[in-house]
């Protein structure tokens, strides 16, 4: 399974099939509290809508199943998936300047299936994008979309949802679960799913609110967070190089993917990390700090990581279960990977310790205190994901899986470093502006050079260019 642009899909045409689990007319949704991330996302969506800009804040995923499509089995798989996961029955309403999350009950959903006109291979990706862009919005249920493209002897299964309802891990889990449900129904076999590990998002939101209250009354916790922001000079993490965009300016997204290391190289990189008592999830921040130092001469690394905040009962749940935490550390006078790795790993470990505290509660306090300026754009973030460790990783659906995002606008270059059975990949949502692309090409070349050296020799010595 990889994370990349939908344009990287080796598309095959066929008959498009739309599967719609929609609320019945008499269904009565229940009100719930929205999470901090959901509220932030919805405010941005409202502003986007008011500005008349196209809205494509969805995450999508697809996989190929190498057997003829059984439409009844597909409808049954989607119906079971929707009954299990409340995100597929969720929408939001704006009320008095805030937002309420509403969830339809499983029995309030009816699934319909419809065939469309055949699409050519060249048009298959556009068909999926248009379907997801039209359906995956937070203001009506379902804010997600299911479908297939019937190729005859095989088919492509796809699923998308507004980002308020999903995250990257959820989507990887969803593809595997949908495929397993489908295969069981197609074979007229029993399908069992551990619902105790897929509890509703509602419990997560309540726990998050409690964590925000703890932060408000815990001076020691506040000090740990303030120490990180102080290292970053009390600013929101941004991409470390000038991408040629004015403050507040954005450009259309261009997703780029780099195959940094093959499987043997990625294994060697992991062994180099382990020899220093570190893990790749922390080591990537040492690599990025070395690249930044080479290109800018910086002496402090200040970034933002995405961390899963799933409790055991949410291990297989669908929703947005993550938090953003800064990772900050000073560089030694003569930085090498070996010297920097303990600092990077310690800083990442600190971020993991702080992850239960919603970053939005932290930002609100520091902004109110005047220590942090209100953010004027989304921050720069970095995420590491090892898809080999995901449930269903050894299945055909997982091996054929591709996760992609809607392509809107950006001023940063958010990065996903993804370990698969084929090696280590870097995917980034980049601004398509020419100057930005020129700068980023040099930056990604530097990251690849550093990774390659570590895989070959176990170390890398950075020198300012």
Its pTM stands at 0.94
Model confidence pLDDT, tens digit, residues 41-88: 999 899 888 888 888 999 999 999 999 999 999 999 999 999 999 999
pLDDT in tens, 286-300: 999 999 999 999 999
Cα distance between residue 232 and residue 234, in whole Å: 5
Q: Which fold has domain 219-388+407-457?
A: Chloramphenicol Acetyltransferase (3.30.559)
DSSP string, 110-174: EEEEEE---B-HHHHHHHHHHHHHHH--TTSS--EEEEEEE-SS-EEEEEEEEGGG--HHHHHHH
Give me the CATH code for the 2-202 domain, please. Answer: 3.30.559.10
Residue 74 CA to residue 78 CA, distance in Å, equals 6
Retrieve residue 237's tokens. Answer: 């993490």
Instruction: Return the closest-CA partner of residue 148 out of 123, 122, 184, 115.
Output: 115
Distance CA 408, CA 148 (A): 24
Please compute the mean of the pLDDT values over residues 389-410 and round it to a whole number: 91
| Biggest CA-to-CA distance, the chain | 68
The confidence score (pLDDT) of residue 247 equals 87
Domain ranges of the chain: 2-202, 219-388+407-457
H/E run at residue 209: helix 201-216
Segment 148-154 shows an average pLDDT of 97
CA 237, CA 361: separation in Å to the nearest integer?
17
In the predicted structure, residue 465 carries a pLDDT above the cut 80:
no
Does 2-202 match 219-388+407-457 in CATH topology? yes
Gap between the Cα atoms of 90 and 220, Å rounded: 37
């Amino acid at each position: 399974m990889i994370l990349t642009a939908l344009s990287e899909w080796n598309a095959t045409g066929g008959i498009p099939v739309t599967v719609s689990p929609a609320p019945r007319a008499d269904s009565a949704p229940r009100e719930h509290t929205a999470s901090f991330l959901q509220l932030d996302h919805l405010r941005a969506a409202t502003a986007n809508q008011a500005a008349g800009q196209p809205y494509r804040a969805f995450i999508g995923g697809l996989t190929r199943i190498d057997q003829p499509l059984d439409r009844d089995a597909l409808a049954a798989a989607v119906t079971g998936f929707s009954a299990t996961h409340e995100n597929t029955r969720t929408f939001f309403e704006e009320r008095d300047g805030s937002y309420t999350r509403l969830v339809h009950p499983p029995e309030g959903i009816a699934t319909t299936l419809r065939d469309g006109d055949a699409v050519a291979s060249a048009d298959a990706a556009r068909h999926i994008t248009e379907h997801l862009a039209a359906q995956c919005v937070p203001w009506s249920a379902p804010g997600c979309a299911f479908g297939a493209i019937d190729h005859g002897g095989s088919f492509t299964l796809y699923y998308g949802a507004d980002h308020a309802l999903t995250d990257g891990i959820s989507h990887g889990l969803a593809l595997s679960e949908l495929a397993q449900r489908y295969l069981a129904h197609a074979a007229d076999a029993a399908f069992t799913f551990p619902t105790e590990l897929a509890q509703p998002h509602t419990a997560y939101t309540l726990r998050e609110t409690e964590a925000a209250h703890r932060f408000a009354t815990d001076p020691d916790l506040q000090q740990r967070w303030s120490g990180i922001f102080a290292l970053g000079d009390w600013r929101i993490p941004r991409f470390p190089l000038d991408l040629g965009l004015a403050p507040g300016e954005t450009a259309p997204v261009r997703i780029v993917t780099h195959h940094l290391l093959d499987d043997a190289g990625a294994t060697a990189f992991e062994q180099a990390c382990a020899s220093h008592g570190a893990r790749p999830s922390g080591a990537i921040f040492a690599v990025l700090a070395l690249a930044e130092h080479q290109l800018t001469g910086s002496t402090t690394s200040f970034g933002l990581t995405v961390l899963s905040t799933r409790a055991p009962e949410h291990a297989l749940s669908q929703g947005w279960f993550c938090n953003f935490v800064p990772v900050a550390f000073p560089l030694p006078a003569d930085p090498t990977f070996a010297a920097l790795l303990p600092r990077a790993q310690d800083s990442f470990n600190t971020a993991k310790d702080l992850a239960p505290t919603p970053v939005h509660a932290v930002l609100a306090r520091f902004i109110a205190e005047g220590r942090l300026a209100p953010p004027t754009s989304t921050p720069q973030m970095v995420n590491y994901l090892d898809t080999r460790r995901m449930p269903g990783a050894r299945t055909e659906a997982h091996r054929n899986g591709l996760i992609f995002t809607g392509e809107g606008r950006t001023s940063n270059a958010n990065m996903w470093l993804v370990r698969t059975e084929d090696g280590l990949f870097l995917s980034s949502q980049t601004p398509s502006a020419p100057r930005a692309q020129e700068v980023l090409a040099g930056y990604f070349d530097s990251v690849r050079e550093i990774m390659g050296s570590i895989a070959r020799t176990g170390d890398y010595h950075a020198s300012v260019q």
